[in-house]
Amino acid sequence: MQSKEEFYIYYGVISFLSIEYLWELYLAIRQHRVYEEATELPTDLEDIMTPETYKKARVYNRDQSSFRIMKDLFAFIVTCLVIYVDGFVIFWKAGGQLAASLGSTGHSETLQTIGFALLMNLFNTLINMPFSVYHTFVVEERHGFNKQTAGFFIKDKIKEFLVGQAIMLPLFAAIIWIVRIGGTYFFIYLWVFAMMFSLFLLTIYPNYIMPLFDRYTPLSPGSLRTRIEELAASVKFPLYKLYVVEGSKRSNHSNAFFYGFFKNKRIVLFDTLLKDYKSESEKDTSKTEKNEEKENEKKESEKVGCDDDEVLAVLGHELGHWKLNHVIKTLVCMQVNLFLVFLVFGLLFQFKPMYAAFGFRNEQPVIIGLLIVLQFIFSPYHAILNFSMTILSRHHEFQADKFARDLGKAKYLRSALIKLSRDNLSFPVYDWLYSRWHYSHPPLLERLAALDKTD
């Protein structure tokens, strides 16, 4: 350590990382104990789930919880090690060598940054891979959620990595350019640029990026489609297209969402949300007798998904998010936050002790400064921000439920929530502190109680 400031930054960062880790661990252990100890189905849940589903959900969530605790411990150790051995310096130098070996002559901060980011991302992807494999093929598999083959998984990960780099690397190059030529108020330009970039991503993401990973098929004409169109029209939702995504290739967790700007809204339903949905390929093969027999063998009670009335109730909830401007409100919060981040970065980015604390004593690369501010300096603030956003999100969920209730869909939303919770093996018992900190959706019983209210 060469200066007092450097010393304070270094130990400040390490202390906060440790406090945050211990806090999360404490919460995780509290919640884990619930999974271990709440073995009997509580009486107020008897109408909602069977003892078998309850047990399945408990074991599934217990496994998930053990997995997360191990993964978080690993991530914490890696982060500490990276700081301890001046890992950013190592990757920065290696990034420079990579750029040079690819023919970059002289020193270019942009090319070195691209090399650095590429190596960092590769490193992160590789060290997380064993966890990802274990999660998909052991944890999810054991509980019947995994639908991926090894081939699909590998292809998916490679695609994910390439798409990530294709977005991130030009973004970094642009950021460096803006910081270097922007003058005193560069952070304002940076913010405007980031805003435009995120709107651009929101525009291209659903149409060009999501289809790279999953198949989106328009919902075929029929009574469900007609009823959805009527529902959308009744609340003046500008429904442009209606898709079903074959999420069941990936996993069995079911959902629905909408996206798009202005008059071009699309609604996407997961095939797992729809009880009787069959993909085109399944329709073809089910013509053979053997498959039909298999279908008939499947008992009604074993089927996952919701019937049409329930799907419409779920959409009533989603339309509530739209009508009440929840997406825009969240987006505005994010942009205000981003401005704050860039402002602080603008104030700190020439502050040499901040770089020195991470081993950079002779140079102050833009990307390193941004990384330190975003990942470390801001982490106490981010913890509070996340907590506030979780509160806001829970509030929005209640509002959207109420919207669906006002559409007269309380009864079906009620049964849909119960079914979705069953299909996803959500566990209805929780530690209050853990739930307050982590759950962006209110627990099932609270939502049902709010739906049952009449006012």
For the chain, the C-alpha Rg in angstroms (whole number) is 25
Closest CB 375 distance from Zn ion, rounded Å: 29
CA distances from 59 to 39, 136, 303 (A): 10, 16, 21
Q: Which two tokens stand for residue 97?
A: 């060598």
- Binding residues with Zn ion: total (CB under 5 A): 2
**What is the SS3 assignment for 244?**
strand
Q: Is 317 marked as a binding-site residue?
A: yes
Q: Which is nearer to Zn ion, 314 or 368 (CB)?
A: 314
Residue list 389-408, contact with Zn ion (CB under 5 A): 397, 400
Q: Which is nearer to Zn ion, 136 or 435 (CB)?
A: 435
Secondary structure (DSSP) of 90-113: HHHHHHHHHHHHTT--S--HHHHH
Q: Is 438 marked as a binding-site residue?
A: no
Q: Which is nearer to Zn ion, 400 or 418 (CB)?
A: 400
- Chain position carrying tokens 């290696």: 94
Closest CB 180 distance from Zn ion, rounded Å: 42
Helix (H) or strand (E) holding 157: helix 150-181
Q: Which is nearer to Zn ion, 324 or 344 (CB)?
A: 324
Closest CB 77 distance from Zn ion, rounded Å: 35
Q: β-strands 239-245, 265-270: how paired?
A: parallel
Helix (H) or strand (E) holding 239: strand 239-245
Residues acting as catalytic residues: 318, 401
Q: Is 397 marked as a binding-site residue?
A: yes
**Per DSSP, what are the bridge partners of residue 217?**
244
Closest CB 274 distance from Zn ion, rounded Å: 18
Closest CB 400 distance from Zn ion, rounded Å: 5
Q: Residue 277: what are its φ and ψ, rounded to 5°?
A: -75, 135
CB 175 within 8 A of CB 117: no
- Chain position carrying tokens 């695609």: 159
Instruction: Enumerate residues 6+ apart whose C-beta is below 8 A from 384.
Output: none
Binding mask 43-72 vs Zn ion (x if CB under 5 A, - otherwise)? ------------------------------
CB 290 within 8 A of CB 228: no
Q: Which is nearer to Zn ion, 397 or 431 (CB)?
A: 397
Closest CB 27 distance from Zn ion, rounded Å: 23
Closest CB 397 distance from Zn ion, rounded Å: 5
Give the separation between CA 293 and CA 286, rounded to whole angstroms: 9
Q: Which is nearer to Zn ion, 220 or 388 (CB)?
A: 388
Instruction: Enumerate residues 6+ apart whose C-beta is below 8 A from 83.
Output: 10, 13, 14, 358
Q: Which is nearer to Zn ion, 179 or 417 (CB)?
A: 417
CB 328 within 8 A of CB 291: no
Which residue, among 217, 60, 82, 220, has the nearest Cα to 140 in the 3D structure? 60
In Å, the largest CA–CA distance within the chain is 78
Residue numbers in the known binding site for Zn(2+) are 317, 321, 397
Residue numbers in the known binding site are 317, 321, 397
> Which residues lie near Zn ion (CB under 5 A)?
397, 400
